[in-house]
């Protein structure tokens, strides 16, 4: 058995919370009990799509979110001087680029 990762712990908690055995969850998800057991035991780490599929079969949705972190004392503060030298139009372009990145990341 491998080291249990977050996906295995999450899947086991969802499965048990739904009251399913590994076999019952596997049947609902259209896979085998051994796949569920390997993920829960840490022998394999599922891809995002597989994990979402298994959690949905247990009656749960999985959400990921990008949340800004406090940036004091980080390398990002070194960019302040460059940003201050930009024209207002270029600053707006930078904000637009960040906005497009965040929107794209939310769709993943």
| pLDDT tens digits for range 57-102 | 999 999 988 888 776 666 667 788 888 899 999 989 888 888 888 8
Per-residue pLDDT of 5-46, as tens digits, reads 799 999 999 999 999 999 999 999 999 999 999 999 999 999
Q: Which tokens hold the place of 89?
A: 């139009």
- Please say whether the beta carbons of 29 and 57 come within 8 A: yes
Map residue 80 onto helix, strand or coil.
helix
List the alpha helices (DSSP H) in the chain: 6-18, 22-29, 33-41, 48-57, 80-85, 88-107
| Nearest Cα residue to 57 out of 33, 28, 20, 34 | 28
Taking the model in full, what pTM does it have? 0.61
Given the candidates 3.30.470.20, 1.20.120.1630, 3.30.930.10, 1.10.260.40, the CATH classification of the domain at 6-57 is 1.10.260.40
């Amino acid at each position: 058995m491998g080291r249990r990762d977050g996906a295995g712990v999450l899947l086991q908690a969802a499965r048990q919370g739904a009251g399913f055995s590994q076999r019952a969850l596997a049947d609902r998800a259209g896979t085998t009990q051994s796949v569920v057991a390997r993920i829960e035991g840490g022998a394999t780490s599922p891809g995002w799509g597989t994990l979402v599929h298994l959690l949905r079969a247990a009656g749960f949705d999985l959400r990921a979110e990008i949340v800004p972190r406090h940036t004091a004392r980080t390398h990002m503060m070194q960019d302040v001087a460059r940003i201050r030298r930009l024209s207002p139009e270029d600053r707006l372009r930078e904000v637009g680029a960040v906005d497009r990145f965040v929107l794209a990341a939310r769709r993943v």
